[in-house]
Amino acid sequence: MGSHSYNLNDPFTTETFTINAWIKTDRTQSPESGIVGLGKTDDNNPFINIGGCGTKLCITLRDDSGTLSRYTSGVDYNNGSWMMVTGTFDNSANIMSLWANGVNIGNATAAVGTTTIDFFSIGQIGNSGNFPATPLWLFNGTIDEVGLWDRKLTADEIATQLYNGGDGMTYTNIFALTITTNAPVDNSNFAANNVTFNITAVNTTNPIADVKLFINGELNNTNSSGLNGTYLWDLNFADGVHSWSVGVEDTLNEIANSSLRNFTIDTTHPQIVIQSPNETFNYGKENDNLDFNITVTDTNLDACWYAYNSTNISFSCVTGVKSEEVITQNADNFSVIVYANDTIGNENSTSVNWNYRVFENNLTYNDQVVETSNQDFNISVTHDSSIWNSITSKIEYNGTNYSATQFGTGDTLIFSRTLEIPAITTSTENKSFLLVLYFN
């Protein structure tokens, strides 16, 4: 059970306002009973009340001069059912109106603006000089959802919001101290050191005293502006995982704390080391397989790939572990670019070049020949002519060395030799040849 009366501190003259309550009773009542109203601690003066006149719902106002205004309805409130009762008081029109279950059931003329009150009463009529020490004209029943507004509610507000189809109002802590953590969201990732913290603190009943930002469990910043709204902080952090939260306190020492959120700072790009190929090979040709070894290191490594011969090729990578791939040598491409990124969004790349002292452009010969026929053996190579004074070539075939004729100058040369294929003693034989280049 609560108090029957609530002190309004300073007496004031009523103007335009609304009072409301839900009631339920089937009990015997006083000839007059008070459900909800306003009064003053002077002998017999004045008061405002929604209550019962006998078993009927009524609304009453007695002004400072002692003049009584009343409207008694034909509505029986003592029926054991929940009922919402509302009174609106309009100073400009000097009209008071009585409502039941969201419907206006009657009006009366009253000197609304000449009534001085200093307390709010529930379940009684405050019209006695010894009030509130001894409550009088008590209501015998249940009262709920009592409300007082400093304006005249509209018919739609009374019917739709208050009565709400008989469900009444659903009360929440919407008016309590609240925090909304807008940014960063939990488990955010940042590729830069700077982070902006954005929160909204609201208290519609009491002023905000201060808002505190906590970083990694320690107080980082206090804002005592008292703002009802958005708070921002811009801070820089070292790489790593960090936590943040906010606490808000109002002037009545009510405290609200946000949940703990985490974020990650990672400004480091993946580190890429290409172990091979990164050299000058003695000899090579198109479609040779090259060992391609790469080590990528990053705390939050995500994906790795390389670009070769206008194609992006993904490969499996684990931080700090060498990845072993194979490149198929292209005739005109002697470089590769390796890329890697991490889960934060940092991306890095590095490239490597390799070369050959001699690169075989093409080799032509017939692999099916007839004995005693003349066959041409031709090879085209590219070399660095600034390194070598001369190049000669021989072909070793069937145990005999044959010199080859050189064609061309500069870095690209062709060596050619025509050989007579020796007779064989069987129907078919496999023969091999060896082409030898000599550099001076």
Kindly provide the residue ranges of all beta strands, DSSP E only, lying in 164-266, ordered along the sequence: 178-183, 188-190, 194-202, 208-215, 218-223, 229-236, 240-250, 255-257, 261-265
Q: Note the pLDDT of residue 14.
A: 62
Q: Does 172 fall in a domain?
A: no
Higher pLDDT, 112 or 345: 345
Is 2 a residue whose pLDDT tops 50?
Answer: no
pLDDT tens digits for range 400-417: 899 999 998 888 999 999
Percent of the chain with pLDDT over 70: 92
For residues 124 and 338, which has the higher predicted lDDT (pLDDT)?
338
Q: Are residues 261 and 385 in the same domain?
A: no
What is 212-225 written as a DSSP string? EEEETTEEEEEE-S
Percent of the chain predicted with pLDDT > 90: 63
35 has pLDDT over 80: yes
Q: Are 261 and 214 in contact (CB under 8 A)?
A: no
Rounded distance between C-alpha atoms, residue 263 and residue 373, angstroms: 79
Q: How confident is the model over 58-63, as a mean pLDDT?
A: 91
Confidence of residue 96 (pLDDT cuts 50, 70, 90): very high
Please tell me whether residues 139 and 161 are part of one structural domain: yes
- Do residues 130 and 182 share a domain? no
Question: What pLDDT, in 10s, does the model give residues 225-251?
Answer: 999 999 999 999 999 999 999 999 998
Are 119 and 20 found together in one domain?
yes
Q: Which residue, 265, 285, 311, sits at the end of a domain?
A: 265
pLDDT at 44: 59
d(CA 161, CA 149): 14
324: in domain: yes
* Region 47-75 average pLDDT: 91
Identify which of 148, 133, 140, 130 has the alpha carbon closest to the alpha carbon of residue 87: 148
Q: Per-residue pLDDT for 68 more than 50?
A: yes
Predicted pLDDT of residue 4: 53
Higher pLDDT, 49 or 175: 49
- 352 and 371 share one domain: no
CATH, residue 334? 2.60.40.10
Q: What is the mean pLDDT of residues 369-398?
A: 88
Q: Examine residue 429 and state whether it is found in any structural domain, yes or no.
A: yes
Say how many domains are in the chain: 4
* Mean pLDDT, all residues of the chain: 89
Is the pLDDT confidence value at 375 over 80?
yes
What is the spatial distance between Cα 45 and Cα 23, in angstroms, rounded to a whole number? 26
Distance CA 186, CA 243 (A): 9
Q: Which two tokens stand for residue 140?
A: 């015998």
> Containing domain of residue 295, as a range?
271-356
Residue 171 lies in a domain: no
362 backbone dihedrals φ, ψ, rounded to 5°: -160, 155
CA angle centred on 404, ends 400 and 407, rounded to 5°: 175
Per-residue model confidence as pLDDT tens digits over 170-203: 655 445 688 999 999 999 999 999 999 999 999 8
| Type of residue found at 394 | K
- Specify whether 342 is located in the same domain as 369: no
Predicted confidence band of residue 7 (pLDDT cuts 50, 70, 90): low
| Residue 20's pLDDT band (cuts 50, 70, 90) | very high
Res. 21: pLDDT tops 60: yes
Provide Rg for the chain, Cα atoms: 48
pLDDT tens-digit map of 300-335: 999 999 999 999 999 999 999 999 999 999 988 999
Q: Please tell me the predicted confidence (pLDDT) of residue 132.
A: 57
Asked if 62 and 191 sit in the same domain, the reply is: no
